Amino acid sequence: MSGAISLGQAVVLGVVEGVTEFLPVSSTGHLKITEGIMGIPVADASVVGFTAVIQVGAIAAVLVYFRRDIARITTAWVRGLTDKEERYHHDYQFAWWVVLATLPVVAVGLAAKSLIEGPLASLWVVAGSLIAGSGVMWAADRMGRHKRGEDDTGFKDAMLVGGSQILALLFPGFSRSGATMSTALMLDLDRVAATRLSFFLGIPALTGAGLYELKDAVGAGVGAAPLVVGTAVSFVVAYASIAWLLRFVAAHSFNAFVVYRVAVGLLLFALLGTGVLNA
């Protein structure tokens, strides 16, 4: 098969994407590490495009898993366009907050595209960001008072949590989920509310990124079959990952993720330092 990614590699990358997209461990970092281990050129335009496209499978899993919530919020938004009273409803306001909170990360993504796909795509950056993000998550989990639920979120919460996605955009390895959850915890949201807010705020940003990169993925040599397979696998695995994560955070701290991230970051530094992996 021609192209930068084979069907077998697409399956592996789909599994990695599905498992890690919503866990606070950095899907981008794990994808880059996996690509490096399999000898796939990390900075190749088609590979960058492929990884962005299969994220759509994971986002589709969110849409299906939270379909009732999304339908309720969307209905409130549509009603609010013509009904003034509906505009005071939290769901109507929340819909606009998600849109507005996405704008900063879109602006930075477009402005810094060359840096994100170039120097910042280095596995050295991934390793350092994994460890740095672990410190932020550890501090946030202890600083936060976990006293606010999802219904207590406001415009400021959405903008701060949504804006924190920029950290993961610029520093692959920091983790979009990790950045948003940590910010939400610092704002005193409980772990379940922080996790659900992270899911909702990720929908427009990740969907937009996947659609934007589609032309590069197809045009640069990735065939339709690997794209379809990778996206389908990421959907199935991500759905299971979402269900597991919500059950986990309801009863546990983020300590396990902190330890795991540090271990992966140190391992990656060792692999890069010994020449086993090429940055």
Q: What's the domain count of the chain?
A: 1
pLDDT at site 217: 62
Nearest to 16 by CA among 50, 62, 44, 67: 50
For the stretch 134-149, pLDDT in tens is 999 999 999 998 999 9
For the stretch 85-115, pLDDT in tens is 889 899 999 999 999 999 999 899 889 888 8
User: Is 257 a domain residue?
Assistant: yes
User: Is 177 a domain residue?
Assistant: yes
**215 band by pLDDT with thresholds 50, 70 and 90:** low
User: Is 253 a domain residue?
Assistant: yes
Q: 138-141, long-range: CB within 8 Å, 24+ apart, which pairs?
A: 138/254, 138/255, 138/258, 139/182, 140/181, 140/182, 140/183, 140/185, 140/186, 141/182, 141/185, 141/191, 141/253, 141/254, 141/255, 141/258
**Where do the H-state alpha helices sit in the chain?**
7-20, 27-37, 45-65, 67-80, 90-111, 113-116, 123-143, 155-163, 165-170, 176-186, 191-219, 224-249, 255-273
Structural domain boundaries, residue 255: 7-273
User: Is 32 a domain residue?
Assistant: yes
For the stretch 221-242, pLDDT in tens is 677 888 899 999 999 999 999 9
User: Is 2 a domain residue?
Assistant: no
- Looking at every residue in the chain, the average pLDDT score rounds to 89
User: Is 278 a domain residue?
Assistant: no
- Both tokens of 51, joined, read 């990884």
- In the predicted model, is pLDDT for residue 132 greater than 50? yes
User: Is 279 a domain residue?
Assistant: no
